[in-house]
Amino acid sequence: MGLFAKNGLDATVLQMDNGSVAMMGLLSGSVDFTTASGADVVVSQSRGQQIVAVLSIYHGFAGQLVLSKSVVSARKIAADSPTDTKVKVLDDLVVASPSATSPFTIALRSAAESVGAKIRIVYMSQPAMPAALSTGSIQGFISSSPYYARPVLDGTALLWLSGPKGEFPSLATPANSMTLNTRADFARTHVDLVNRVRAVFTDFARAVVERPAEVKAAVAKLFPDLDSKTLDLLFKTESRGWEGGTVTVDDMVHEIAVVKSSGVPLPDVNKLEPRNMLLK
């Protein structure tokens, strides 16, 4: 879409396996910015790593949980059952998620604990998940778009719980699934660069609302295997979240609560100051 060039930037964009790997790249200085999550900022700061959120790229929870149709059939639970019932179905299932500290994993664990279910979570990259489901290596997975769409549309899986539709318990889901993050010291010494990168994603959020056809064309170029039916489904389900916006103190208060409820052991999480997690 040319948004980096529009804002005077010649950017190199790298795709990494998950948010944890991206955050390691940020901490090592290999990259200057990451698109990870607010939960990743919480995890980093609880470990004494001064990472801050610049803005929200995806507001709300982007995670989509799909289950194999054969598993759902065997457990004899209707797809329109109450959320608590649908979460209980996950007991003892092998479900894939991107990483141990991913907001998707945190949401799964929190939701399961709320009903006493025990999920066997395994970790793999999102592009690998549909193939693992088709071979029976896993019985479900939680991912963002576009990876969940193919098995749902080909009829081998069901969309079991949808983050964008608000079907996960609120304390299990982040305020922002994707934030633009950077190091606090880097932000202080590169104010103009930070503002230019912020403008890129602000322009993108505006394009989602004002120029959806252009955004769809860019997605189709990035993922050439997506057919128009799949792309229309993804845009209909996800576009509101991509409007992004400002990350607030209340957002970070919520992110801390979500991480704490997940049971992930983190040092000094109770000492965190939400205001210090935001770019000043």
Domain boundary among 172, 194, 228: 172
What is this structure's pTM? 0.75
Domain ends where: 172, 201, 235?
Answer: 172
pLDDT of residue 199: 92
**163 DSSP β-pair partners:** none
| Non-local CB neighbours of 268 within 8 Å, separated by 6+ positions | 46, 47, 48
**Cα 31 versus chain centre, distance:** 19
Helices (H), 116-211: 129-135, 149-153, 184-189, 191-210
**How far apart, in whole angstroms, are the C-alpha atoms of residue 48 and residue 272?**
10
Q: What is the CATH number of the domain that holds 132?
A: 3.40.190.10
Same structural domain for residues 128 and 92?
Answer: yes
Triad 225, 9, 62: Cα angle to 5°: 45
What is the predicted pLDDT for the residue at 180?
A: 93
DSSP bridge pairs for 178: 58
Statement to judge: residues 80 and 154 lie in one domain: yes
Structural domain for 159, as ranges: 64-172
Q: Are 119 and 43 members of one domain?
A: no
Q: How many domains does the chain have?
A: 2
Evaluate the omega torsion of the peptide bond into residue 127 and state whether it is cis, within 30 degrees of 0.
no
What is the reported pLDDT for 93?
A: 95
Do 215 and 149 share a structural domain? no
Q: Are residues 86 and 185 in the same domain?
A: no
Q: What is the pLDDT of residues 232-241, one digit of tens each?
A: 877 877 777 8
In this structure, are 69 and 137 located in the same domain? yes
Does residue 79 share a domain with residue 126? yes
Q: Are residues 183 and 273 in the same domain?
A: yes
H-helix segments, 139-248:
149-153, 184-189, 191-210, 212-222, 228-238
Verify that 69 and 24 share a domain, yes or no: no
Residue ranges of the chain with per-residue pLDDT less than 70:
17, 262-263
Last residue of a domain, one of 172, 202, 220: 172
